Chain A
Amino acid sequence: MSNKILGLISCNYNNEAFGSLTDERGLASLPFGGRYRLLDFPLSNMVNAGIRTIGIITPYHYRAIMDHVGNGKEWSLDRKSGGMFILPGSIYGLKNMRSTFLLRDIIQNRAFLDRAKEDYVLVSGSHKIFNMDLRPLFKQHISAGNDITMLYKPITDAENHPGTYLQLDGDKLVGLKSDEVGHANCFMDCFIINRDLLLKFIDWYKALGYIDLLDIVADSLPNLNVAGYAFGGYLGQVDNIRDYMKCSQDLLQEPVRRELFMSENKIYTKIQDNPPAKYGTHTSVKNSLFSTGCIINGTVENSILFRGVKVGEGAVIKNCVLMQKTVVEPGAVLENIICDKHVVISGGNKLFGAANKPLVISKGKNI
C-alpha cells in the first residue's frame, strides 16, 4: 500500500512570530526537543509508514535544512529507487510567506509528480509535532475511494491556535474555516490526495500560481469527495515563541515523551556522535531533559538542554530551552529564556523572561 504513496513536504513558509529564531532558518528547521528539528516529525512519520519517495520543498533560507537532512541517510532515504528529493521552493524575495501549500511551489516541481508511479500523494507541512502511524489513514482513504482525506485533531481551545479548521458532516468535509473558538477540528497540515487530481489542480489553476492548495480544495468541495480523518494522540502546535516553550515543556511529561519518542515508530534525526553527558559533583537537576555532550555543574530545573550545552558551577537555569552549544558560565542565572545556538552567557548575568513571554537570545550572542 505504502509503495503507492508519494510524500511531499512543504517547508517553504515561515512565521514572523518567532523573531530571531527563524531569521536565518525556515520554521521546518527550528531545533526542538534537545536534538530534533521540527521537520523530523513529518519526515519520520512518512518513513515509518513505509513511504520511500519523499520530496522536500525548501524554504527561502535553505542552508539549515540541507545541512540537517543531507542525502536522507538517517531516514533510510539514500536509495537507488525513490529516496529523498530536494525540490527548490519558488523564491519571492519575501521570506515570510504564510501560505503552507503554495501551488506555485508544486508547479515548479511538477516533474517530481509527473515522473512518479505512485497513485497517491501525502502532502504535509513541516512544523506540527506528532508521531502517528499514517497507514490507517491511507487505508481509509483508499477503501472509501476519497479524492482527498485530511488529517485533523479535535481540540477544545481553538481560540489559542489560529489555523485551518475542518467543518465536517460525519466524515465528509463541507467547509474550511480559518478561525474557531472552543471545540473544533484542527487541520494538522497533512492530507492525502490522488496524484491525478493534484496534477489536474495544477492544470486548472496554473494561471494563479500564488494560490494555496487549501483554497483550491475549498473552491472545489462541491465536486469532490473530501473526508476528514481524526487523530487522537498528542499534537504539538508551535505557532509562536510562547507555544514553542510550552511544547518544549510538554516533553517533560512522561506520557508525551513516551508517545513522541519511545513508541515503535522512532523519530529520526541527524546523528552527531557526541559523547555522553557529564555531570560534576555539585549539580541539582530536576524535571529536565539533557542531550549528549552536555557538561553540567550547576542547577537545572524544568528545562530542555540541547547537545553540547555547558552549565558552569553555581549557574541556575529554570524553565529554559538552551540550544546546541550554549555556554552558561559559573554563577549566571537564567529563567524563562530560550537561547539559540552558540550563545554564551557570562558569569554574573541574571536574565529573566516572563513565563508567558519567554526571552529569546539570538544565535551566537555573547552576553
Chain B
Amino acid sequence: MSKKEILAMLLAGGQGSRLGALTQKIAKPAVSFGGKYRIIDFSLSNCVNSGIDTVGVLTQYRPLMLNSYIGTGAPWDLDESEGGVFVLPPYATQDGGEWYNGTADAVYKNIDFIDSYNPEYVLIISGDHLYKMDYNAMLEEHKQNNAELTVSVIQVPWDEANRFGIITADDGGRIVKFTEKPAEPDSNLASMGIYIFNWSTLKQALLEDAPLADSEHDFGKNLIPMLLAQGKRLFVHAFAGYWKDVGTIDSYYQTSMELLREDSEFDILSGDQRIFSNSNIYPPHYTGENAVIENSLICNGSTVLGEVHNSIVSSEVYVGPGAKVYASILLPGAHVESGARVMRAIVGEKAVIEMNAYFGSLDEDEPIKVAGDGEHIIDDLWSRGY
C-alpha cells in the first residue's frame, strides 16, 4: 500500500442525547439538516474538497442509518481504490469485545487501520459539526510551525466560553494552556475539535494513555493536556468562518433558520465548496394551484399544496391543501395533511401531522416543538383552543 500523507478519522459515534427525539433512532451525524443533507455530509465534503481521500468513520451509537447512508462513499467521491471511506464500529478481539470508551479510545482501537496507510499526519474531526473548511490551510500551518499537534480554534463569545475547550496561545501561536470547559475562562479561543497530529506523536500518546485507569480517554480532557505537559509542540490554527456544533434542539432550530436569512453566514447555497450528499433521485418539487411559498427552502420530491412561510421543507415532504407551515423544519418524508398547522416546530422524518391538527405555537416564548421520526400528531381540539 502506498504511503498516505494524511488520513482523516471522523468521530461519529456520539448519540447527541440533547437533541432528544431527533436522535432517538439515529446518531447525531445522521440527523437531517438543511433539507437534503445529513450533518455528517459537511465534514465528509470538507475532506473531499481538501483532497483527503481516506477517511475512517468511527461509529457506535445506532450505526445502521450511518452505515447505509455512507455506503461505498461514492456520493462523496470516496470510492477510491487506494483508500476511500471505512466505517469502523467497535469490534471483538481474543480478549473479548468492548465499546469505544472515549474519543481517544476509539482511535486507539483503530491503530492498525491507520498504520496500514502509514500516514505522515492524522486529521481528527467530528461528524456532528456544521462548517466549510479547507483542511489544507491548516496542514500547511502545521508543517510551517513544525508542530506535533495543531488544534483548530475559533473565537467564541466570552459568556459561552465555559462550554468549550479553551486555549491560551502565545504570540507565535504555540499553545501554553488548554482547559476543558473552564469555570472562569481566561481566553475566548475555543477548540473546534479539529486536530492534525503527526501520526508518530499521536500513536505514542494513545499507547501511553490507554493503560491509565483514571483517564477518560478523551482528546480534550486527557490527550492534549498530557502532550502539553510533555512539552510537545502544540499550535493553534485560527479559523474565521462559520462553525457550529448543534448540540441542542434550540441550536439546531436556530442554525437551520439562519439558512433562510439573506445575509446568512453559513452559505450552503453558493457553488463554491459544494456539499455532497447521498440523495435519492426524486423528481422536482411540485407547487399546487393554491400554494404559497415565502422565504423558504424546498427540496426535490416534495409536494406543496398549502402554505409554507419561513420554513425548510426537506425531500419527499407533503404539505396538503389548506395546511399552513410557519417558521418550521419539515424533515425528509414528513407529511402535513390538509388543514393542519405547524408553527415553530420540527417535524421528524416520516412523521405525520394529521388532518386539521395544530402543532407548535407562534409564541416565541414557547419551546420549539418536536415530532419524532415516524410520530403521528392527531387533531387535538385542545391545541386549537377549544
Contact = CB atoms under 8 A, between A and B. Distances in A.
Contacts of A252: 286
B281 A257 contact: no
Contact of B283 (A33, A276, A278): A33
B293 interface: yes
A273 B289 CA distance: 28
B300 A283 contact: no
Nearest to B310: A281
A49 interface: no
A286 B283 contact: no
A295 B271 CA distance: 13
Given A287-B288, A289-B284, A273 B279 contact: yes
A276 B281 contact: no
A279 B293 CA distance: 7
B281 A278 contact: no
B284 A34 contact: yes
A280 interface: yes
In this complex, the member of A279, A280, A290, A296 whose beta carbon has the largest number of chain B beta carbons within 10 angstroms is A279
Contact of A266 (B269, B277, B281, B300): B281
A292 B36 contact: yes
A268 B281 contact: yes
B287 A288 contact: yes
A261 B294 CA distance: 26
Given A285-B291, A286-B289, A261 B279 contact: no
Interface string A201-224: 000000000000000000000000
A74 B285 CA distance: 20
Interface in A289-314: 289-292, 295-296, 300, 304-306
A181 B202 CA distance: 79
A240 to B, nearest CB: 24
A363 to B, nearest CB: 20
Interface string A253-285: 010010011100011110101011111111111
A289 B281 contact: no
Interface in A49-98: 73-74
Nearest to B286: A289
Interface in B278-328: 279-300, 312-314
A123 to B, nearest CB: 25
Contacts of B294: 279-283
Contact of A273 (B275, B282, B314): B275
A35 interface: yes
Contacts of A273: 75, 274-277, 279
Nearest to A287: B289
Contacts of B291: 285-286
Given A277-B299, A286-B291, A73 B74 contact: yes
Nearest to B282: A261
A304 B277 contact: no
Contact of A257 (B269, B283, B299): B283
B360 interface: no
Contacts of A292: 36, 284, 299-300
B299 A271 contact: no
Contacts of B280: 266
B89 interface: no
B372 interface: no
B333 interface: no
Contacts of A35: 283-284, 300
B341 to A, nearest CB: 20
B287 A276 contact: no
B34 interface: yes
Interface string B57-76: 00000000000000000110
Given A73-B74, A275-B268, A276-B297, A290 B285 contact: yes
Closest 7 CB pairs of A and B: A34-B284, A261-B283, A276-B35, A289-B284, A276-B297, A291-B284, A285-B287
30 contacts: A34-B283, A260-B283, A261-B282, A261-B283, A262-B283, A266-B281, A275-B35, A275-B275, A276-B34, A276-B35, A278-B296, A278-B297, A279-B294, A279-B297, A280-B294, A282-B294, A285-B287, A285-B291, A286-B289, A286-B291, A287-B287, A290-B284, A290-B285, A290-B287, A290-B298, A291-B284, A291-B285, A292-B36, A292-B299, A304-B284
